[in-house]
Amino acid sequence: MRRLRTYGFVAGFLAVPLVLYTVFVISPYAQAFQLALTSWNGYSSVVRYVGFDNFGRLLEDEVFWRALRNHGILLLVLPVATIVIALLFAFLLNLGGGTRGAGMAGVWGSGFYRVVFFFPQVLAVAVVGVLFQAVYRPDADGVLNGILARFGLGPVGWLIEPDLALWSIIAVMVWQAVGFYVVLFSAGMAAIPKDYFEAAALDGAGRVRLFFSITLPLLRDTVQVAWIYLGIAAFDGFALIQVLAGDKGEPDGATTVLPITIYNTAFSYQKVGYASAMGVALFFLTVTFAVLTLRTTRRERVEL
């Protein structure tokens, strides 16, 4: 009887969130799968089913493949750059100061640096985009080009040159993401017994050895989670790219990604059915990436 009451109490608290999640998350996903099989234009009362024709068109769509190529670059660069930088900063802030007092400590002023690194996380994506519009201005009034002008260089079209635009946006994405993962990795390092570091330091291990022999192996699960989160972020990028490069993924589609393409296809060209097919493809790409990452990085749990 007591167990039944407990289950009823828990179910009562979960009922409302589950209903809201079903209505606002599961239901739109289900509708997208249905619309992907139609040629609906978004406002007509007549819905014509075309089966899997929309998915066949994706295989011949140059814009779709260009967006996938950009996602591939994001998927390779964004997680690696963010994780490497965040791990370095987190290690310095938590253990980079070496042995101090009764244990290991971070570098001097680590508390202040934590606030500085996390600051980009409190800014809205649109604010970050507007901020870097000023940084990347193609004339001498831009922050970067103003610095280059002092050395007799530039100006550089950071966002208007096809070979540079995507890399410039990736740099912004890394800048904004690093602070969150510094906090995430710091929490993981705080869970590692300090005795491990102190014993290794007494044996003469330097900071590099401490990092690669103790910190990184024991943070593997946290790094795995970070990799999945950043991979999912690499399949997005809609808001930042729209602010910095416009809703066409300028220049010449060099920065276009699937969310941008889906938005244009649905609302600019009134091809909601075809846009839904792109959304379904994006959904499966994201899920496949997460599942493959979990399976390929799975290992036996390390007992501390």
Is the predicted pLDDT of residue 101 greater than 60, yes or no? Answer: no
Q: How far is CA 233 from CA 125, 165, 272, in A?
A: 13, 18, 24
Query: Is 187 inside a domain boundary?
Result: yes
pLDDT (mean) for 15-39: 88
Classify residue 98 as left (phi > 0), alpha (psi -120 to 50) or beta. Answer: left
Query: Is 302 inside a domain boundary?
Result: no
| Residue 28 lies in domain | 1-33
Query: Is 301 inside a domain boundary?
Result: no
Query: Is 157 inside a domain boundary?
Result: yes
Nearest Cα residue to 54 out of 69, 41, 68? 41
Are residues 19 and 150 both part of a single domain? no
Are residues 148 and 183 both part of a single domain? yes
Are residues 153 and 19 both part of a single domain? no
Q: What is the pLDDT of residues 223-245, one digit of tens each?
A: 999 999 999 999 988 899 999 98
Three-state secondary structure call for residue 273:
helix
Give the integer Cα–Cα distance in Å for 286 and 295.
Answer: 14
Q: What is the pLDDT of residues 254-303, one digit of tens each?
A: 899 999 999 999 998 899 999 999 999 999 999 999 999 888 877 655 55
Q: Which residue has better confidence, 171 or 108?
A: 171
What proportion of the chain, given as a percentage, has pLDDT over 70? 90
Are residues 100 and 9 both part of a single domain? no
Are residues 158 and 280 both part of a single domain? yes
Query: Is 81 inside a domain boundary?
Result: yes
Highest-confidence segment of 2-11, 74-83, 185-194: 74-83
Give the ranges where the chain is alpha helix by DSSP (H).
2-21, 27-35, 53-58, 62-94, 110-118, 125-135, 143-150, 162-190, 194-202, 207-210, 216-218, 220-234, 238-245, 258-263, 272-296
The pTM of the whole model exceeds 0.75: yes
Is the predicted pLDDT of residue 100 greater than 80, yes or no? Answer: no
Query: In which band, very low, low, confident or very high, does the pLDDT at 140 lie, cut at 50, 70 and 90?
Result: confident
Q: Is the dihedral of CA 226, 232, 233, 234 positive or negative?
A: positive
Residue 196, pLDDT score: 79
Are residues 1 and 54 both part of a single domain? no
Q: Could you tell me the CATH number of the domain that includes residue 247?
A: 1.10.3720.10
Residues with Cβ within 8 Å of 201's Cβ and at least 6 positions away in sequence, in order, are 98, 99, 104, 210
Are residues 138 and 6 both part of a single domain? no
Beta bridge partners of 218: none
Query: In which band, very low, low, confident or very high, does the pLDDT at 155 lie, cut at 50, 70 and 90?
Result: confident
69-78, 178-187, 207-216: segment of lowest average pLDDT: 207-216
Q: What is the pLDDT of residues 162-190, one digit of tens each?
A: 999 999 999 999 999 999 999 899 888 88
Is the predicted pLDDT of residue 1 greater than 70, yes or no? Answer: no
pLDDT (mean) for 58-82: 94
Are residues 43 and 23 both part of a single domain? no
Give the integer Cα–Cα distance in Å for 191 and 84.
Answer: 20
Are residues 125 and 207 both part of a single domain? yes
Are residues 235 and 137 both part of a single domain? yes
Give the integer Cα–Cα distance in Å for 224 and 111.
Answer: 26
Are residues 82 and 216 both part of a single domain? yes
Q: What is the pLDDT of residues 113-127, one digit of tens each?
A: 778 888 888 888 999
Residue 106, pLDDT score: 66
Query: Is 278 inside a domain boundary?
Result: yes
Are residues 8 and 111 both part of a single domain? no
**Number of structural domains in the chain:** 2
Query: Is 268 inside a domain boundary?
Result: yes
Q: HSE (CB half, 13 Å, CA atoms) of 13?
A: 5
